[in-house]
């Protein structure tokens, strides 16, 4: 049943009164947002049920992911359902600002970086393209953390995004299941959230599990006045779904992470098996109706867990079970960094998940037997072992236990095949394939940049690009059209003005909206090289001080991103950037030629403002270290050139938009492989003009690290190395001069307004290949073997 405006207003008032005891107009903005969402959900739920029913007897895909960086749902859902204009009208009649309602929604605290945002984009694309894809994960109460800065240091605070509840999710108590651990069982309670495809034809589900105690309250202990003991089991169980990626520098943190992984995987598999048996009364055809994608190694425990369920609980033959498991699961590898190829100590699995560990042991024995039958020698077999040196290698388990392993960009997949996982590739060449990541244009253009979206629709004479992003290619004909480019730059300036106002409000920093917005926003890690960016900024500052007439276009350098709580070096880099920021922003002599901003608590909603307003996109990771990146695609989609290395999806961006429309610098993968053992960073430290001065700022008293010693540690890591890595592991000093030259080219190119606009326009026009719609089509056809149905 479609509601008209008056009916919606009537329902809105009803929800306002029954939920908050007040008329809608008297509610706070957060309360108004909740009442609106409840009213909208009343319309969504019947369509949701209808959508799920149409796929009931079809093969479906399931995405197992430790994180989902969803962003705000309010506007995205209204746009996809086609309700936004009417809701705006209703609010206008109440004299309420729609943007204030939008801002009242908390970003869901379910993810951190690109892996989680990719999962969110995939869910959006699958629903839009009418593919049955369901997400499974954990309903974290506090997300990863809310980032604040104290004297430039990152401080982690709880992100209580659920303090007023989540009106988009529905608790499904009837589907709760028990998850068994050696130290006590817990209940997994599911919450379902609708994933609405553009046009509203398909509404899929994201099911997130919350951990609860089986016996949350011990009345006997309470009666004995042992109040802490009375709720001990409740606290212990609920800790599992409290925080995303708890610090695991101690065993307690490792155990909690392992519990999280097994908790959601076991609950999800129990859920699928139960529903499958209700319909088919046999598990032998399970793989014919279910395809499960493991988003990185976090959910890899699903492989032995399914073997446990099939062989222990349902007494199925091992070989038959293994065949079903391999044909059900597929694995996405998101990294080539050895330290990120997850491994678990055997002792933790034995202590916490003894039955699952038995399965892993048996899988390892089966693997060794398979290898022996293939004539592989004992010396070579040890390279394949899943259990080796008292560690369980989850990536190896994922490759052996699935029918598909995919990288997420061409160069990434090539490196996996040729280097990092070469021996596995030789064993199973048919299992390896590439699926270059993508982003959803509904979130990152239609919603984030409505001004540009409207202009594109006007030029193309159609909204088809919203579901077929390759339509953007038709815009290339306007690359020399002065009026079109003029209007594009006008839109870009409007977005820059909006961001400048928002930064002033949020950060208390006034920036020049007519300066070059140079933006690096991503998770903090050494290989992403925020430190290289910082060195260049400090070098530029020193050169301006030496030569006040230096030919430089005013520039605002914007950073955003979080460091993992236990990653001290990344946190040290954040502090260092803040020290540079304080030096530069407080120096009146440079007359505001450059300014530095470090935005607080970077997330999806802040990102929407940043991606749409950027002039230059910083994608400067060490070549061969970034698997793909999706931030680079979001910038490109909004008409922003890249300054970057030939790494990850940057390579494919250059192939599409041309190197002449971007700014490429630095070592390539092949260069690094050639110079690997001979590299001496001191050679560049001593010889590259200005470099020693900026590197020495870490230790010469220019900046204060609060007595932590972290700046000295950073300095030593670059020039001396440590016990676990060589000096300048990520080639900052080698790439510095090349990066500085590329930045000079950015400066010079920006002065030619027409040519700069053309570079931006060609990037935008060639962004079509980076839609997550294209990626999902490839997964559906080549890995999951599912069909899209339009009923």
The tokens for 488 are: 């594009």
The DSSP symbol for 285 reads T
Q: Is 240 exposed, middle or buried (0-12, 13-18, 19+ CB in 10 A)?
A: buried
Rounded Cα distance between 304 and 324, Å, is 12
Rounded Cα distance between 667 and 420, Å, is 19
Please name the residue that has the structure tokens 């996982």: 421
Active site residue 242: no
Cα–Cα nearest to 419, from 726, 670, 732: 670
Rounded Cα distance between 577 and 458, Å, is 42
User: Is the separation of the CB atoms in 785 and 58 below 8 Å?
Assistant: no
Query: Beta 186-196 vs 203-213: how paired, if at all?
Result: antiparallel
The tokens for 85 are: 């204009």
3-state secondary structure of 284: coil
Rounded Cα distance between 272 and 728, Å, is 48
Active site residue 492: no
Whats the size of the chain, residue-wise? 791
Sign of CA dihedral 790, 438, 193, 7: negative
What per-residue string of b and e applies to 406-438 under the rule 16 or more CB within 10 Å gives b? bbbbbbbbebbbeebbeebbebeeebbbbbbbb
Active site residue 369: no
Active site residue 528: yes
Which of 257, 308, 334, 562 is catalytic? The answer is: 334
Cα–Cα nearest to 450, from 36, 93, 79: 79
Please name the residue that has the structure tokens 């002792």: 347
The tokens for 730 are: 């990520």
User: Is the separation of the CB atoms in 661 and 762 below 8 Å?
Assistant: yes
Cα-based distances in Å from 334 to 337, 352, 415, 776: 9, 27, 12, 16
Q: What is the DSSP string of 116-159?
A: HHHHHHHHHHHHHTT--EEEEEE--SS-S-EEEEETTEEEEE--
Q: Per 3-state DSSP, what percentage of the chain is helix, strand, and coil (rounded to 5)? A: 55, 15, 35
User: Is the separation of the CB atoms in 327 and 99 below 8 Å?
Assistant: no
Active site residue 522: yes
User: Is the separation of the CB atoms in 559 and 598 below 8 Å?
Assistant: yes
3-state secondary structure of 780: helix
Which of 523, 581, 595, 740 is catalytic? The answer is: 523
Cα–Cα nearest to 135, from 122, 117, 151, 149: 122
Rounded Cα distance between 191 and 768, Å, is 34
Beta-strand runs (E) in 151-289: 153-157, 170-171, 177-179, 186-196, 203-213
Which of 72, 525, 528, 571 is catalytic? The answer is: 528
The DSSP symbol for 213 reads E
Rounded Cα distance between 50 and 200, Å, is 11
Strand order in the sheet with 594-598: 594-598, 555-560, 516-521, 616-619, 642-644, 663-664
Which of 435, 447, 495, 522 is catalytic? The answer is: 522
3-state secondary structure of 330: strand
Rounded Cα distance between 156 and 182, Å, is 31
Residue 372 φ/ψ, nearest 5 degrees: -65, -40
Active site residue 751: no
Which of 72, 447, 634, 774 is catalytic? The answer is: 634
Mind telling me the catalytic residues?
A: 334, 522-523, 528, 630, 634
């Amino acid at each position: 049943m479609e509601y008209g405006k008056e009916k919606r207003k009537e329902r809105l008032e009803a929800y306002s009164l029954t939920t908050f005891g007040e008329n809608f107009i008297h509610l706070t903005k957060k309360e108004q947002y909740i009442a609106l969402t409840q009213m909208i959900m009343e319309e969504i739920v019947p369509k949701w049920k209808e959508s799920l029913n149409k796929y009931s007897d079809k093969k479906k895909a399931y995405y197992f992911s430790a994180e989902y960086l969803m962003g705000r749902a309010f506007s995205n859902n209204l746009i996809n359902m086609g309700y936004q204009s009417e809701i705006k009208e209703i609010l206008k009649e109440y004299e309420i600002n729609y943007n204030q309602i939008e801002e009242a929604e908390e970003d869901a605290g379910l993810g951190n970086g690109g892996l989680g945002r990719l999962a969110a984009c995939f869910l959006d694309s699958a629903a839009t393209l009418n593919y049955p894809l369901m997400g499974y994960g954990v309903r974290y109460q506090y997300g990863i953390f809310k980032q604040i800065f104290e004297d430039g240091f990152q401080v982690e605070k709880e992100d209580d995004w659920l303090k007023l509840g989540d009106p988009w999710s529905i608790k499904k108590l009837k589907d709760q299941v028990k998850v068994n651990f050696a130290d006590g069982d817990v209940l997994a309670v599911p919450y379902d959230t609708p994933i609405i495809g553009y046009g509203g034809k398909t509404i899929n589900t994201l099911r997130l599990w919350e951990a609860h105690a089986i016996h949350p309250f011990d009345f006997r202990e309470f009666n004995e006045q042992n109040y802490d003991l009375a709720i001990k089991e409740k606290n212990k169980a609920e800790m599992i779904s409290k925080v995303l990626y708890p610090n695991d520098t101690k065993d307690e943190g490792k155990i909690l992470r392992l519990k999280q992984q097994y908790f959601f995987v076991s609950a999800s598999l129990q859920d699928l098996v139960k529903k499958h048996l209700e319909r088919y009364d046999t598990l032998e055809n399970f793989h014919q109706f279910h395809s499960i994608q493991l988003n990185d190694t976090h959910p890899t425990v699903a492989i032995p867990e399914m073997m446990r369920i099939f062989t222990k609980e349902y007494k199925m033959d091992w070989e038959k079970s293994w065949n079903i498991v391999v044909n059900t699961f597929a694995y996405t590898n998101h990294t080539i960094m050895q330290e990120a190829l997850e491994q678990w100590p055997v002792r933790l699995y034995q202590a916490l998940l003894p039955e699952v560990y038995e399965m892993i042991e048996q899988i390892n024995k089966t693997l060794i037997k398979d290898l022996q039958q293939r004539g592989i020698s004992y010396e070579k077999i040890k390279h394949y072992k899943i259990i080796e040196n008292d560690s369980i290698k989850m990536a190896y388990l994922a490759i052996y236990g699935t029918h598909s392993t995919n990288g997420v960009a061409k160069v990434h997949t090539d490196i996996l095949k040729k280097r990092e996982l070469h021996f596995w590739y030789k064993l199973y060449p048919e299992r390896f394939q590439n699926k270059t990541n993508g982003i959803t244009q509904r979130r990152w253009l239609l919603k984030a940049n409505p001004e540009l979206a409207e202009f594109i629709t006007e030029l193309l004479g159609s909204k088809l690009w919203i579901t077929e992003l390759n339509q953007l290619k038709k815009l290339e004909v306007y690359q020399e059209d002065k009026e079109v480019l003029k209007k594009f730059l006008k839109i870009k300036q409007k977005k820059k003005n909006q961001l400048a106002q928002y930064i002033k409000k949020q950060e208390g920093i006034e920036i020049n909206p007519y300066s070059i917005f140079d933006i690096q926003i991503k998770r903090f890690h050494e290989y992403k090289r925020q430190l290289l960016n910082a060195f260049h900024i400090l070098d530029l500052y020193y050169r301006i001080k030496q030569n006040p007439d230096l030919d430089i276009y005013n520039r605002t350098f914007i950073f955003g991103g979080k460091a993992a709580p236990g990653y001290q070096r990344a946190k040290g880099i954040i502090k260092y950037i803040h020290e540079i920021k304080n030096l530069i922003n407080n120096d009146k002599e440079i007359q505001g030629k450059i300014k530095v901003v470090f935005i607080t608590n970077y997330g999806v909603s802040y990102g929407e403002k940043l991606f749409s307003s950027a002039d230059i996109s910083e994608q400067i990771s060490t070549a061969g270290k970034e698997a793909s990146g999706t931030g680079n695609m979001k910038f490109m989609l909004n008409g922003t050139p890249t300054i970057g290395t030939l790494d990850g999806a940057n390579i494919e961006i250059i192939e599409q938009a041309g190197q002449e429309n971007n700014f490429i610098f630095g070592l390539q993968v092949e260069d690094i492989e050639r110079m690997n053992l001979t590299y001496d960073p001191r050679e560049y430290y001593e010889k590259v003009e200005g470099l020693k001065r900026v590197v020495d700022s870490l230790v010469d008293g220019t900046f204060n690290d609060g007595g932590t010693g972290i700046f000295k540690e950073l300095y030593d890591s670059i020039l001396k190395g440590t016990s676990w890595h060589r000096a300048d592991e990520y080639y900052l000093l080698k790439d510095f001069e090349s990066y500085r030259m590329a930045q000079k080219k950015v400066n010079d190119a920006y002065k030619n307004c027409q040519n700069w606009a053309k570079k931006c326009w060609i990037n935008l026009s060639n962004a079509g290949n980076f839609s997550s719609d294209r990626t999902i089509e490839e997964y559906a056809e080549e890995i999951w073997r599912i069909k899209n149905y339009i009923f």
